[in-house]
């Protein structure tokens, strides 16, 4: 597929899609059936359905009965950690291998024309974005996310939180399962916006932003504090009456779902005649410009409401620069 039919490439080799980014089609005004159908399709397919399937797999094959999770011990927590490591390695590794090592589509549809392996930098451990990001994901973020998952599952097993059963409240739990990606979006916006404030950015979130040209391994490359806040989305199950499966689903949306904004390509080649949209552009713009698009605004137009939306257009650029100027003037005046 010729990417120049769908966007433009500048002299540096960076590719920009034509048109503007949509946000939260559900709330677009005036309401339109076609837009609502497009929102439902984007909300479910392909990512959230995939994470629901992986959560089901973990629920059936990795986790023991809820009764067995009453005691912590080593067996089930270590099995869960091993499964999360293996899952992350193969899931992220598959994207890395196909699009960054084998380069099945070279830099077609790639926002940043360069590949991270071509750009050694002192900001990364071993001067390599790939090695740095992999070590942080594997040895920091996955263990922290798993520890939170274990604590919340243990709390359910011991009756410390309200346990809702599928047989008694199937409709409520089905609605909660459908709402889980939206909960993740709001949680992520809130912690992400907070992490961009002063010292928290300097000491914590800047680790993630070292990757200005993000690739799959960048997705979970985080400072430990950020990893705890990020996977802390599962802690909502301590206050919302729910079921431990939803804990696993939330962890999978956060853990595997982090790849969505960091793929680096707008379209992913699946076969000679088929490609799929990555939904990566909003978060790519966040890595490029820092103070825009704190969430991907799939369900709620949060960045529009809080004045930080960038739709990828020249007009979006102009509004962003105006905001930056205004902020600079405000800071200079104090
Ligand atoms: Zn990111
Ligand atoms: Zn950020």
What does the pLDDT look like over 223-278, one tens digit per residue? 999 999 999 999 999 999 999 999 999 999 999 999 999 999 999 999 888 889 88
CA–centroid distance, 35 to ligand 1, in Å, is 27
Mark residue 29 as left, alpha or beta (left: phi above 0; alpha: psi -120 to 50; beta: remaining). Answer: beta
Contact 77, 150 (CB under 8 A): yes
Identify the pLDDT of residue 331: 84
The angle, 0 to 180 degrees and rounded to 10, between the axes of the packed helices 142-157 and 244-255 is 170
Residue range 87-117, pLDDT digits in tens: 999 999 999 999 999 999 999 999 999 999 9
Closest residue by Cα to residue 221 from 209, 203, 236: 209
Instruction: Please tell me the pTM assigned to this model.
Output: 0.95
Question: Could you give the dihedral angle defined by the CA atoms of residues 199, 254, 215 and 302, in that order, rounded to the nearest 10 degrees?
Answer: -60
Domain ranges across the chain? 47-304
pLDDT digits (tens, 9 = 90+) for 164-176: 999 999 999 999 9
Ligand nearest to the CA of 284: 1
Q: Let me know if 290 is exposed, middle or buried by CB neighbors in 10 A (0-12, 13-18, 19+).
A: middle
Cα 192 to averaged position of ligand 2 atoms, centre (Å): 6
Contact 173, 246 (CB under 8 A): yes
Determine the distance separating the centroid of ligand 1 and the alpha carbon of 48, expressed in angstroms: 18
Beta strands in 132-271 (DSSP E): 267-271
Q: What would the pLDDT profile of 43-65 be if each residue is shown by its tens digit?
A: 998 899 999 999 999 999 999 99
CA of 186 to the centre of ligand 1 (A): 16
- Looking at the CA of 218, which ligand is closest? 1
């Amino acid at each position: 597929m010729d990417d120049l039919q769908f966007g433009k490439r500048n002299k540096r080799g960076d590719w920009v899609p034509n048109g503007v980014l949509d946000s939260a089609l559900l709330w677009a005004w005036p309401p339109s059936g076609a837009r609502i159908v497009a929102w439902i399709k984007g909300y479910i397919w392909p990512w959230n359905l995939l994470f629901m399937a992986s959560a089901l797999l973990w629920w059936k094959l990795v986790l023991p009965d809820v009764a067995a999770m009453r005691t912590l011990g080593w067996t089930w927590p270590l099995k869960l950690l091993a499964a999360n490591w293996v899952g992350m390695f193969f899931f992220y590794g598959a994207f890395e291998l196909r699009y960054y090592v084998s380069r099945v589509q070279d830099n077609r549809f790639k926002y940043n024309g360069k590949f991270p392996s071509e750009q050694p930098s002192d900001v990364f451990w071993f001067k390599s974005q790939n090695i740095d990001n992999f070590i942080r994901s594997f040895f920091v973020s996955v263990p922290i996310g798993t520890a939170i998952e274990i604590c919340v599952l243990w709390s359910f097993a011991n009756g410390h939180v309200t346990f809702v059963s599928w047989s008694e409240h199937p409709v409520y739990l089905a609605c909660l399962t459908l709402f889980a990606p939206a909960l993740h979006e709001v949680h992520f916006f809130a912690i992400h916006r907070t992490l961009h404030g002063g010292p928290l950015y300097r000491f914590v979130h800047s680790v993630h932003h070292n990757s200005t040209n993000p690739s799959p391994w960048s997705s979970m490359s985080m400072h430990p504090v950020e990893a705890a806040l990020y996977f802390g989305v599962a802690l909502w199950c301590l206050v919302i009456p729910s079921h431990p499966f939803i804990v696993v689903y939330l962890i999978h949306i956060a853990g595997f779902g982090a790849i969505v904004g960091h793929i680096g390509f707008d379209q992913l080649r699946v076969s000679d005649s088929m490609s799929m949209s990555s939904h990566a552009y909003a978060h790519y713009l966040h890595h490029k410009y820092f103070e825009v698009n704190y969430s991907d605004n799939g369900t709620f137009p949060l960045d529009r409401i809080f004045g930080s939306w960038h739709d990828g257009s020249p007009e979006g650029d102009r509004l962003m620069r105006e905001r930056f100027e205004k902020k600079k003037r405000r800071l200079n005046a104090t």
